[in-house]
Amino acid sequence: MTLSTYIDYVILPILAIALVLVFIRLIKGPNIVDRVIALDLLITIGVSVITVYSISTSESTFIDVAMILALIAFLGTIAFSFYLEKRGRK
């Protein structure tokens, strides 16, 4: 089995199932914290899809895009958790 067929038949379907399950958690999350974690995980899975696509096409430019997206997602999660902490104190 080559890397290309492994990506097409194993890795991408697993990532697609993970995206669907996390999106369901994002919609049905019982509280805001669950939704924030689901959104962060959704972005992380998106970064992994971009990385797999980059490996599949041998384009290293997409790795830079994935790293920037991961950094923005991390900073957004930190900012939102800071907001939730400040909101809970009042």
What pLDDT does 81 receive? 86
The token duo for 61 is 């430019």
What pLDDT does 21 receive? 96
The token duo for 25 is 């958690």
How buried is residue 22: exposed, middle or buried, by Cβ count under 10 Å (0-12/13-18/19+)?
Answer: buried
Cβ density class 62-80: b for 16+ within 10 Å, e for less: beeebeeebeebeeebeeb
Instruction: Return the amino acid letter for 49.
Output: V
What pLDDT does 90 receive? 57
What pLDDT does 42 receive? 95
Instruction: Divide the 90 residues of the chain into consecutive groups of 10 and give the mean pLDDT of each group.
Output: 90 96 93 90 95 92 94 92 81
